[in-house]
Amino acid sequence: MSKPHAAVLRSLEPSELYAPAVQRLAGVISDLSQAHDMESITAIVREAARSLTGADGATFVLRDGDKCHYLEENAIGPLWKGQRFPMCACISGWVMSHRRVAVIEDIYQDPRIPEDAYRPTFVKSLVMVPINKAEPVGAIGNYWAVCRLPSDEEIIILQILADITGVAMENAEMRRKNQAA
């Protein structure tokens, strides 16, 4: 089955997106259950996060002490891949610190967004979900080039992806420790 183009996905109603996204998510969960390292996990997640919602961009962020490391991205244009920002100065840090989802319809209307960091980008709206809600180790963010409010279904799909990503990361770490022993 071929993947629909992002513009087609954006034209569908949320309920029309949900069933195919759930089917796709089942495949992603299977792929993540077999991922043996962070490189594999980030490759799966960066593609899945964007394609599951028809987003214009997706990012995979890891907590690195008091910083957020924008480890990987899949976007229509470059964002912050490889960069590190203080936890207190970015929305992914807010998500991890508060252990909550952030849904922002218009980035220029939300005080948690550092406007100077976003001004040169295409990003107009976003949703960011924590990886491992109890003790966040990272976050997954989806971005859109238009102001839009992500649907409840899109948020649920991304949080499920983040939850299984946390499990995949724990499994990869256990494998690494077992191989080192």
- pLDDT number for residue 179: 87
CB-CB contact of 138 with 160 (8 Å): no
Domain architecture of the chain: domains with CATH: 13-174 (3.30.450.40)
Q: For the chain, what is the mean pLDDT?
A: 89
CA atoms of 120 and 133, how far apart (whole Å): 30
Q: How confident is the model at residue 5 (pLDDT cuts 50, 70, 90)?
A: very low
What are 92-108's pLDDT values in tens digits? Answer: 999 999 999 999 999 99
Sheet holding 57-64, edge to edge: 84-86, 67-75, 57-64, 138-144, 125-131, 102-104
Amino acid at 112: R
CA–CA distances in Å: residue 107 to residues 48, 79, 111, 135: 23, 15, 8, 26
CA atoms of 156 and 164, how far apart (whole Å): 12
Mean pLDDT (whole number) for 159-177: 94
Res. 157: pLDDT tops 80: yes
What are 27-43's pLDDT values in tens digits? Answer: 999 999 999 999 999 99
What are 15-26's pLDDT values in tens digits? Answer: 566 778 788 899
- pLDDT number for residue 21: 79
What are 54-82's pLDDT values in tens digits? Answer: 999 999 999 999 999 999 999 998 899 99
Query: What is residue 112's DSSP assignment?
Result: T
